[in-house]
Structure 1
């Protein structure tokens, strides 16, 4: 009987068995282990598995030893517990310890390992041992374990390292493989092309996505719009927004993003003298890249992720580049959409005091008019109040603006 006709549990059992053999032969000796004498002293209070592992302060110390000792003491470990600990370790950039937990999961037959677990392992292999090791691991997996999850994980590694040729070859293999394609795969290729400046290739990825009838997500639209905006192709941006409005998968986040993009294109005045100078003298970030950062801020506004908006804005302000009125219009409008008027006011003040760009009262008025044109009355009132507080007249108050 072919493997594809077996039950899901039996299929996973076969994959796990084969992967354990691969791990045993290729990578078990790659992660240095330590003895119990190397482990941190564990206080009796708050003595749980996660606490013990997080007390390993140095990467050379072994999470595997902690797991083995925990079991030897008669404790049980669930796979959900392992996944949660590995997830927290990754957030803390403790990749080596997270990889050891991943190896433990795959080695022990009592755990039902999912496709996503193998994908996580490829990502961790890249971070700990490098892309070559992750590539060998992927190639050594049985055919049934080469799923959309594992393909995407390796593609993400290639994209992160800007290995365009390898990514394209893997993308071609993926399209021929018997796996389910999703938007994330196409987003990886679009991100890669954006990062290496091959904006003209983004449209071909979109064409392939549509041909395969894969549903785009919010990130897909963001990357697509960013590439058009970076080429100053505003007509295409407006066409994409029209397509978004007809997408049956649209949700509240998409609506916010679409509204903001319309406002940004209108009030930000993308096609102007500032944007025509695509590369500023002795600057590391081009105006094209700056526009892309703006659309990334719009994306996270649609996702209502203020923390990421704050981080991106902080990075932009620290970058060795000239800020433009368009950048300030973008971040102010995003804060207003999320009802963070205090932060919007702070950015407004930063703009007025900026030494890298002149304060543009015309842009403020365009933004106010854009909010009113979109019938976002509450947001317009918030902006009007900020403008009044910062002594910036609106078009209603001065004919000179």
Structure 2
């Protein structure tokens, strides 16, 4: 792929009119809001003006900001500039970014052709995993499985991320029975599972309501956790959720009618995703997932409220926890369950988190909801 492949359809020579002399390079490029404007033109103009040489760290930093704001076409032009100018030596991370950007800008076929054209030295565990990520995101199971087999047949050493991609794919296409097989292969290769591996594995078992296996995995995870704060937080929340959420009483084939038919077991997977990000201390991710779920017309269950309420409480976000209580109380589909809240408080107390339990109790008092009122 040459830089012309990216910019030829989009070049707008008038783009230079939006820049101002004296601006730094990053500011000039970030001001290019319209995809048809060319980041390549800005880079060329910068060089022609006799400015200091553009360094690779500069370009990577600009690309990162562009990708963060979902301006993938401009980010790919930055990547193309690095390729066509020989003074830059591409790292494994640069190749990974290129594969991801090509997928987003031109589609998976282009990313696939680019990967196959790479020299052998550039076909690393990072680039293999990047292409696998593209297949998984598009739910191309057959292509992903073919690439996964190539990965297993290679002499490269892969980490948990690669296996997690396959597990994520199988979860997304409803082939949850294949997730434990991937975990087994991971262990056979002596690859250490990470917190995402465990979350996917537990979610697959919970989605089929195999609660005995969930508890066994949690026990295994507790042996691996050591002093890892994220893992311990996740374990505590997962145990509370399994204990309080009555997963064993849920119907495995229960289906709620909405615009889309979504099984209750699929929603359990979202609960564990919330618990995962709570374990990682990422409130923003919890907000995003919870808000997305609430925007659907899916009927919420008490389990859904339990997972997000417990997660906010664990992270000390009492304001957000209070808002969840309000949403639960005013829900038209799921009755507020004070008994479940009592069990949450007891569970937090049992694991030594008395302050967290007290925070929930204070919220319930403020809302004037307690066992005596129900």
TM-score, length basis structure 2? 0.95
Q: Does 1:288 align with 2:262?
A: no
Which of the numbers 34, 37, 54 marks the counterpart of 1:61? 37
Q: Is 2:142 the partner of 1:165? A: yes
Residues in 2 aligned to 1:143 and 1:340: alpha-carbon distance in whole angstroms: 49
Alpha-carbon deviation of 1:54? 1.4
Gaps of at least 5 residues in structure 2 are: none
> CA–CA distance in 1 between the matches of 2:6 and 2:66?
19
Name the SS of the counterpart of 2:77 in structure 1: helix
Measured after TM superposition, the shift of residue 250 of structure 1 is 5.8
Query: What is the distance in 2 between the residues matched to 1:250 and 1:289?
Result: 31
Q: Distance in 2 between matches of 1:281 and 1:315?
A: 18
**2: CA distance, partners of 1:130 / 1:385:** 52
The answer to whether the 8 Å contact 1:53/1:66 transfers is: yes
Alpha-carbon offset, residue 175 of structure 1:
1.2
3-state DSSP of counterpart to 1:253: helix
Change (3 A) 1:137 1:379: same
Runs of 5+ in structure 1 lacking a partner? Answer: 1-22
Say if 2:96 and 2:130, in contact at 8 Å, map to a contact too: yes
**Contact kept in structure 2, 1:244 and 1:250, CA below 8 Å:** no
- Does residue 265 in structure 1 map to residue 229 in structure 2? no
- How far off is 1:57 after superposition? 2.1
Aligned-partner Cα distance in 1 for 2:209–2:259: 20
Where does residue 172 of structure 2 map in the other structure? 195
1:321 aligns with 2:298: yes
Deviates more, 1:69-78 or 1:137-146: 69-78
Aligned residue pairs total 371
8 Å CA contact 1:352, 1:358 repeated in 2: yes
Return the offset for 1:350.
1.1
Does the 8 Å contact 1:277/1:287 carry over to 2? yes
SS of the residue aligned with 1:179?
coil
What RMSD, in angstroms, separates the aligned Cα atoms of the two structures? 1.7
4+ residue stretches of structure 1 with deviation over 6 A? Answer: none
Q: CA deviation at 1:249?
A: 6.7
Q: Take 1:81 and 1:247, find their aligned partners in 2: how far apart are those partners?
A: 39
Matches of 2:13 and 2:217, distance apart in 1: 59
C-alpha separation between the residues in 1 aligned to 2:330 and 2:161?
Answer: 41
Alpha-carbon distance in 1 for matches of 2:153, 2:298? 43
Q: Kindly indicate whether residue 309 of structure 2 is the aligned counterpart of residue 332 of structure 1.
A: yes
CA distance in 1, matches of 2:141, 2:64: 28
Q: For the residues of structure 2 that align with 1:251 and 1:108, how far apart are their CA atoms?
A: 44
Tell me, yes or no, if structure 1 residue 126 matches structure 2 residue 103: yes
Say if 1:159 and 1:188, in contact at 8 Å, map to a contact too.
yes
Q: What are the Cα deviations for residues 121-161 of structure 1, in whole angstroms up to 9, with x where unaligned?
A: 00100111111010000011111110011101100110011
Asked if 1 retains the 8 angstrom alpha-carbon contact of 2:299 and 2:333, the reply is: yes
Q: TM-score normalised to the size of structure 1?
A: 0.89
8 Å Cα contact 2:92/2:127 also seen in 1: yes
Partner of 1:355, secondary structure, is coil
Shift of 1:286: 2.1
Distance 2:12 2:341 in 1: 64
Q: Is the 2:208–2:252 Cα contact (8 Å) retained in structure 1?
A: no
CA distance in 1, matches of 2:89, 2:254: 52
Matched, 1:231 2:208: yes
Q: Which moved more, 1:237-246 or 1:35-44?
A: 35-44
Report how far residue 55 of structure 1 moved: 1.6
Spell out, residue by residue over 1:291-317, the C-alpha distance to the aligned partner (whole angstroms, 9 max, x if none). 111111111111111111111110111
After superposition, residues 85-164 of structure 1 pair within 5 angstroms as 85-164=62-141
Q: What is the match of residue 80 of structure 1?
A: 57
C-alpha contact (below 8 Å) 2:35/2:73 kept by paired residues: yes
CA distance in 1, matches of 2:300, 2:102: 38
